[in-house]
Amino acid sequence: MKTKIEKNDRVSCQSTKNPSKWNGRTIEIDDAGTGDLVGDAFIGFRDTDTGKIIFQSVPVGLYNEDNKDLDLPKKHILKVVIKALKRLKHGKGDRILLCRGNCFDLVREYFDKKKIYYKPAIIEGQLQDAVEGRFIQHLRKLGINSRNLTKESGIQRYFIMFDWVCRDFPNRERFVKTGFPSWKKKWQKIAMKRYQNSKKDKASKEEEIKKRAEKINELMFEKPISVGKITSKSL
């Protein structure tokens, strides 16, 4: 997940663009979609020796109000991290570069408890590009087809998703991470209002079209098209 880089981050964190030397293998771990309004989230893993990248998903349902309060997204992320490290045959000589996002809070606790070596990292380059791409692919499958939807997280991507939800609010709210406090406090009401207004506008346009069609029909009957007689001279 791309986060704002502070001045001291380069000192306190590894950068995957220019990591410190390591004799063993390095595994990078990053996330995408954990802070986005719509859709599942994804955790990406990259073995820098082989270039192998794998993904694990975090279902959007885990981000509803009840589940989020129980930290179920973080608990699920811990499970998929353990699963993925087994798939990658993680060993004691490996170094893990772990994204600094708070979605990995329980993962850090687990690593500390199990004495698994890791470093907080600014994930850039191949893995970040791949996991953000996987998230965008997921959003497009949901039906978010805006050309402006990109791998770059931020306010523009937020409102592309929000506008998509508003256009069919009753059927699309199930794809929203409703456990985010701002959804219940603010954005849910705005989305409902925009959907209702769009329905009124659509109904008004349809009524206008219907009236125009009826008026044209009336005029046609009032002034029927005259057809002249066909005579032998006109042939």
Across the range 151-172, mean pLDDT stands at 96
Is residue 200 one of the residues assigned to a domain? no
pLDDT at residue 11, rounded to an integer: 47
Q: Return the percentage of the chain with pLDDT > 90, whole number.
A: 71
Report the side by side order of strands in the sheet with 118-122: 14-15, 118-122, 95-99, 26-32, 41-47, 53-58
Question: Which domain covers residue 76, as residue numbers?
Answer: 13-145
Least confident of 51-55, 66-70, 112-116, 119-123: 66-70
Enumerate residues 6+ apart whose C-beta is below 8 A from 13: 100, 119, 120, 121, 122
pLDDT in tens, 30-74: 999 999 999 999 999 999 999 999 999 999 999 998 898 899 999
118 backbone dihedrals φ, ψ, rounded to 5°: -150, 160
Is residue 8 one of the residues assigned to a domain? no
Across the range 217-226, mean pLDDT stands at 62
Count of structural domains, the chain: 1
pLDDT at residue 7, rounded to an integer: 46
DSSP conformation letters of the chain: ---PPPTTHHHHSEETTSPPP-SS-EEEEEEESTTSSBS-EEEEEEETTT--EEEEEE-GGGGSHHHHHTTHHHHHHHHHHHHHHHHTT--TT-EEEEE--GGGHHHHHHHHHHT--EEEEE--SHHHHHHHHHHHHHHHHHT---TT--S--SHHHHHHHHHHHHHTHHHHGGGB-TTSHHIIIIIHHHHHHHHHHHHHHHHHHHHHHHHHHHHHHHHHHHSPPP-PPP-TTT-
Task: Assess contact for 41 and 139: CB atoms under 8 A.
Answer: no
Is residue 214 one of the residues assigned to a domain? no
Is residue 28 one of the residues assigned to a domain? yes
User: Pairing mode, if any, of strands 41-47 and 26-32?
Assistant: antiparallel
Q: How confident is the model at residue 168 (pLDDT cuts 50, 70, 90)?
A: very high
pLDDT in tens, 3-29: 554 544 544 687 888 788 888 899 999
pLDDT in tens, 175-199: 999 999 999 999 999 999 999 998 8
Is residue 6 one of the residues assigned to a domain? no
Residue 131 has pLDDT above 80, yes or no: yes
Residue 229 has pLDDT above 80, yes or no: no
pLDDT at residue 8, rounded to an integer: 47
Is residue 216 one of the residues assigned to a domain? no
CATH number of the domain that 26 lies in?
3.30.420
Across the range 141-160, mean pLDDT stands at 95
Is residue 126 one of the residues assigned to a domain? yes
Across the range 124-130, mean pLDDT stands at 96
Distance CA 80, CA 58 (A): 9
Residue 227 has pLDDT above 80, yes or no: no
Is residue 181 one of the residues assigned to a domain? no
Across the range 90-99, mean pLDDT stands at 95
